[in-house]
Structure 1
């Protein structure tokens, strides 16, 4: 585990090399270095406690100078030792030791350091030791990260399979509930004797449709996260999809006292987009806009072409808006801003993350413009079709499409 490596102490890896006494002659210490080419430093110990450190290269340098051997060979090693080496307890963690060397004792990388246990000499550490230890720890950490990644992918795949199976099991009875509720609501088999039953059926139908929408959103988000959602863009009329979405929510908007407007460019007749994905984007955006707009407010749905052959859509409202610090929250899956103003609104917090993901799957761009009390406008840009497909065609001369903002009432005439 990566966490357990953080507790690894230097005592588990320090080299317990034999020490020398402070009165040992320099020539004898030199012979020890010559006998062991890998030996970089030797601790100088008196009565079990380290008092200095003699470095291989310091000793060789002194003895190799002119008259150096004659001057120092027979003198005690205490005259050439480092009297203030880095001394650490064996219980110190490797991470803390590395920080200590980097911040206060950089010379220890060249000269080495002494390791003690309860103040008694234990061993010597070197830069090579730390390097080898770092490489081994990095390798273990990489293996642990790879195992964690594989486990996360397996867990995500299991979650996706579970949600797919569960959504199927839930949608089958839900569709039956919704279907029978619609039959009763429309009184297809005859009139309902008690008018209260009509109200109950309306509640059943509304609740069933809402639950089905939540299930679909959860499944769609899971597909996107697992990479199993494959968009299939085609040349289509985006405004027709906007008009369809508007009709779906017209009754709900009227019931909440919210005005719906469609603003469509008259020359926008072709866009390159996945029809199902665009429909899902609009259903989520318009549903959110109506939900968070108080009675007397206004929701605008728009679309326009771009100079490069792509197009953009937007859904704006005059609702409660979102504070800047809460934008990352609402764009995260299942993220919801909890406060006295928004707690009364139902939902899973998947609408905006799902919209953003679907736009980005097209290679498009998502933008959220909002502020508390000022409302929210979501804009999405979709790229033009590939070079081998037509980028768009001019509007027909006999077009009946509205050229200016039109309310739902005007469009239904």
Structure 2
């Protein structure tokens, strides 16, 4: 049995006090108790090492202090006052089982003590103090184990983040070259493409490269936020102007899918406090999701609203495929995707909403996702006013 296993059993902390023989007189046992104030109980053991009973300090003192008690019992063997049927447990018994046994069948053992044996032979005496020591040792061991597990998990998370960041950088360089050469061929800067089908292939290469680059950028951004390397620089911006800019970027994609855009802007909202680049990325991600997951003929709305004390609220809603209630937590976890007949046809990494949520929380704002399967989705974001003078905010670094 290892040291760790021993700490989980009563045998590891049972008091190895020398037992007393059955013929020892009660007055001699009383002297042993008097010499050691911390001694609560002693086992009575025969010559073969087998326990016969347990003599409790307070039981002995009580009997000897009664009228005629000392005269009656002092010269008698200790077996006259011992408990002949004490709780007796094997040393390898686990703490949980022992605690249940005492609570259910032998509650007096906490006060009177109990005998611990090893293969039926005397091993030691257990007391309430023994249980307390064992419980404390177990708690400390488990706390150390949890701390090691937490440290290992954090290191694994940091390693994953470093890997994603490195791979994203390595992939982005050749991808930019592929996209650049595809654009040169598409625009025929060095002459015509002799075969019309080549033009289709070039367009497919360009679209695929741009799509892949967008996914890699999302992974790189999430890795940067998780590693504490993302710093935002909030300033006073015009949220409605930002929303209109992002709608113009996505409008061609929406028109190809016969989707309509609508706005509901608060005329009293002139400016808000946020990082312009982060807000642009947030809105592009939300609008891209809305366009991606809204069937033909659907509707997308973006709105703004002024809040008290200078904050602002912005939301994006659609009439798309929606998300089931039980899957809302899943889509907010990095790389979390819902696989069903409606979503399987759509590509992506599952980083859009988690990235949006992380960027909003980096502003110390709030993120609310509301969705019903088959009826659409609404994402509402709230950006607070500046608490103090404008200053950069950095994503928290992992411990």
Structure 2 CA distance for partners of 1:274 and 1:193, relative to 1, 3 Å: same
Partner of 1:337: 338
- 2: CA distance between counterparts of 1:314 and 1:103? 58
- 2: CA distance between counterparts of 1:141 and 1:357? 33
How many Å apart are 1:387 and its aligned residue?
5.2
Q: Is the CA contact 1:318–1:376 (under 8 Å) kept in the aligned structure 2?
A: yes
- 2: CA distance between counterparts of 1:217 and 1:103? 58
Q: Which moved more, 1:167-176 or 1:184-193?
A: 184-193
Structure 2 CA distance for partners of 1:79 and 1:220, relative to 1, 3 Å: farther
Which secondary structure does the structure 2 equivalent of 1:58 belong to? helix
Q: Which moved more, 1:86-95 or 1:73-82?
A: 73-82
Partner of 2:172: 171
- 1: CA distance between counterparts of 2:5 and 2:247? 58
How many Å apart are 1:273 and its aligned residue?
0.5
Say whether residues 1:38 and 2:3 are aligned partners.
no
How many Å apart are 1:354 and its aligned residue?
1.6
Which secondary structure does the structure 2 equivalent of 1:206 belong to? helix
Per-residue CA distance 1:247-286 (angstroms, 9 max, x = gap): 2222222222322223322332311011122122112211
Partner of 2:368: 367
Per-residue CA distance 1:347-389 (angstroms, 9 max, x = gap): 2222212211211111111111111112111101110123557
- 2: CA distance between counterparts of 1:302 and 1:15? 73
State the superposition RMSD in angstroms.
2.6
Structure 2 CA distance for partners of 1:361 and 1:128, relative to 1, 3 Å: same
How many Å apart are 1:178 and its aligned residue?
1.7
How many Å apart are 1:167 and its aligned residue?
1.7
How many Å apart are 1:5 and its aligned residue?
5.3
Structure 2 CA distance for partners of 1:386 and 1:189, relative to 1, 3 Å: farther
Structure 2 CA distance for partners of 1:280 and 1:79, relative to 1, 3 Å: farther
Structure 2 CA distance for partners of 1:66 and 1:185, relative to 1, 3 Å: farther
Partner of 2:97: 96
Partner of 1:223: 224
Structure 2 CA distance for partners of 1:344 and 1:78, relative to 1, 3 Å: farther
Structure 2 CA distance for partners of 1:266 and 1:195, relative to 1, 3 Å: farther
Partner of 2:277: 276
Structure 2 CA distance for partners of 1:290 and 1:86, relative to 1, 3 Å: farther
The runs of 5 or more residues in structure 1 that have no matched partner are: 390-413
Partner of 2:14: 14
Partner of 1:380: 381
Which secondary structure does the structure 2 equivalent of 1:347 belong to? coil
Structure 2 CA distance for partners of 1:336 and 1:18, relative to 1, 3 Å: same
- 2: CA distance between counterparts of 1:272 and 1:170? 35
How many Å apart are 1:312 and its aligned residue?
0.9
- 1: CA distance between counterparts of 2:356 and 2:145? 34
The runs of 5 or more residues in structure 2 that have no matched partner are: 391-399
Q: Which moved more, 1:74-83 or 1:224-233?
A: 74-83
Q: TM-score, structure 2 length as denominator?
A: 0.87
Show the 5 A alignment for 1:74-223. Answer: 74-102=75-103, 104-223=105-224
- 1: CA distance between counterparts of 2:81 and 2:353? 71
Structure 2 CA distance for partners of 1:326 and 1:104, relative to 1, 3 Å: farther
Partner of 1:65: 66
Q: Is the CA contact 2:7–2:13 (under 8 Å) kept in the aligned structure 1?
A: no
- 1: CA distance between counterparts of 2:98 and 2:284? 57
Say whether residues 1:326 and 2:327 are aligned partners.
yes
- 2: CA distance between counterparts of 1:293 and 1:119? 74
- 2: CA distance between counterparts of 1:6 and 1:287? 59
Structure 2 CA distance for partners of 1:169 and 1:115, relative to 1, 3 Å: same
Q: Which moved more, 1:22-31 or 1:271-280?
A: 22-31
Say whether residues 1:25 and 2:25 are aligned partners.
yes
Q: Is the CA contact 1:43–1:53 (under 8 Å) kept in the aligned structure 2?
A: yes
Structure 2 CA distance for partners of 1:266 and 1:177, relative to 1, 3 Å: farther
Q: Is the CA contact 1:7–1:93 (under 8 Å) kept in the aligned structure 2?
A: no
How many Å apart are 1:245 and its aligned residue?
1.6
Q: Is the CA contact 1:6–1:93 (under 8 Å) kept in the aligned structure 2?
A: no
Q: Is the CA contact 2:162–2:223 (under 8 Å) kept in the aligned structure 1?
A: no
Partner of 2:351: 350
Q: TM-score, structure 1 length as denominator?
A: 0.85
Partner of 1:286: 287
